[in-house]
């Protein structure tokens, strides 16, 4: 009841880019050609060719042809029709927990805040904390989906970010892009408004499409003697942040070391089956 806590998730165990600056290039390489608005596959593969350490987890050729040629909306249609029939789409949610004293790269053999690495499940067990359930389809795609503005900087008291430089970059980037796409007062759109929150103590005033009372006579600076009292019980603990996020200088413990490839080697040699290795190699030959 203290606001929106946005969590970010993917359907693969690690991210394909750990450089905050290059993250924008990865997204742009998957965009349509600005001249003719066709999908520009040359752009994506050109970026991958110039980034030889990039990895991917593709469909097989047969699956790709079927999904793109027969029904590009196959997965979306499957979920939509199931919910329309009254079924619930459900995932069991787990979390891995690492204590601060365990977050030592020398002891782990890798940087725990590098998004291209995984926390091994034998050392950091998967702990179930709930369920994610889809039981209602959007009434209007634009209102309920297109205008949604999720951001890793949307937190509630007691939740803090980590020293991950990519996360720190995204905390600024997401809202910055959303202010351009939706507007500065995106928090007033119903899909983004904290549901049943006790209060929304923003310091933002005025701006395009402001529809509420602008927080009456509250002051738009902090700290002040009138409102927006700081809660010491949830005060953020100070920590050192990366000072070279906007540079190409390395900020990862294992950058340039041979053990940077240790997890990739284990994935190929021990985790993958013969069939999975064959599928991984076939699109590249």
Q: Where are the alpha helices (DSSP H) in 68-194?
A: 74-84, 105-108, 141, 165-181
Handedness of CA 76, 82, 88, 90 (dihedral sign): negative
Q: Where are the alpha helices (DSSP H) in 31-135?
A: 41-49, 61-65, 74-84, 105-108
Residue at 249 is within a domain: yes
* Domain limits for position 240: 69-203+236-257
What's the rounded Cα separation, in Å, for the pair 96 and 119? 8
User: How many of the other CB atoms lie within 10 Å of CB of 154?
Assistant: 19
Residue at 154 is within a domain: yes
pLDDT value at position 1?
Answer: 63
Residue at 35 is within a domain: no
Residue at 175 is within a domain: yes
pLDDT value at position 250?
Answer: 55
pLDDT value at position 33?
Answer: 81
Low-confidence ranges of the chain (pLDDT < 50): 247-248
Q: How many domains is the chain built from?
A: 1
Per residue in 54-78, pLDDT tens?
Answer: 555 556 667 777 767 677 788 888 8
What's the angle, vertex CA 151, arms to CA 264 and CA 160, rounded to 5?
A: 80
**What single-letter DSSP state applies at residue 240?**
P
What's the rounded Cα separation, in Å, for the pair 134 and 137? 8
Residue at 50 is within a domain: no
Residue at 222 is within a domain: no
Match 């039981």 to its residue by tokens: 135
pLDDT value at position 243?
Answer: 56
CB 283 within 8 A of CB 61: yes
What's the rounded Cα separation, in Å, for the pair 185 and 197? 17
Residue at 253 is within a domain: yes
Question: For residues 125, 129, 132 and 135, what is the CA-based torsion angle, rounded to 10 degrees?
Answer: 150
Residue at 4 is within a domain: no
CA atoms within 13 A on the CB side of 19: 15
CATH number at residue 172: 2.40.180.10
CB 108 within 8 A of CB 99: no
pLDDT value at position 82?
Answer: 94
């Amino acid at each position: 009841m203290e606001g929106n806590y946005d969590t970010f998730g993917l359907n693969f165990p690690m991210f394909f880019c750990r450089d905050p600056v290059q993250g924008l290039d990865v997204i742009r390489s998957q965009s349509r050609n600005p001249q003719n608005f066709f999908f520009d596959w040359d752009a994506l593969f050109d970026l991958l060719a110039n980034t030889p350490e990039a990895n991917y987890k593709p469909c097989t050729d047969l699956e790709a042809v079927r999904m793109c040629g027969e029904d590009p909306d196959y997965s979306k249609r499957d979920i939509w029709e199931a919910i329309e029939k009254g079924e619930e789409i459900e995932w069991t949610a787990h979390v891995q927990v690492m204590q601060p004293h365990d977050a030592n790269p020398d002891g782990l053999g890798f940087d725990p805040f590098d998004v291209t690495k995984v926390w091994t499940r034998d050392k950091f067990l998967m702990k179930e904390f709930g369920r994610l359930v889809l039981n209602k389809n959007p009434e209007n795609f634009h209102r309920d989906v297109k205008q949604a503005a999720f951001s890793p900087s949307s937190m509630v008291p007691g939740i803090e970010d980590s020293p991950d430089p990519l996360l720190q970059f995204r905390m600024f980037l997401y809202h910055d892009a959303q202010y351009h796409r939706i507007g500065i007062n995106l928090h007033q759109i119903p899909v983004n408004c904290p549901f049943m929150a006790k209060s929304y103590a923003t310091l933002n005033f005025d701006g395009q499409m402001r529809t509420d009372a602008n927080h009456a006579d509250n002051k738009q600076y902090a700290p002040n003697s009138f409102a927006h009292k700081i809660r010491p019980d949830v005060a953020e603990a100070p920590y050192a942040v990366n000072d070279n996020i906007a540079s190409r200088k390395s900020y990862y413990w294992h950058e340039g070391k041979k053990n940077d490839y240790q997890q990739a080697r284990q994935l190929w040699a021990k985790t993958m089956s013969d069939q999975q290795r064959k599928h991984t190699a076939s699109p590249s030959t």
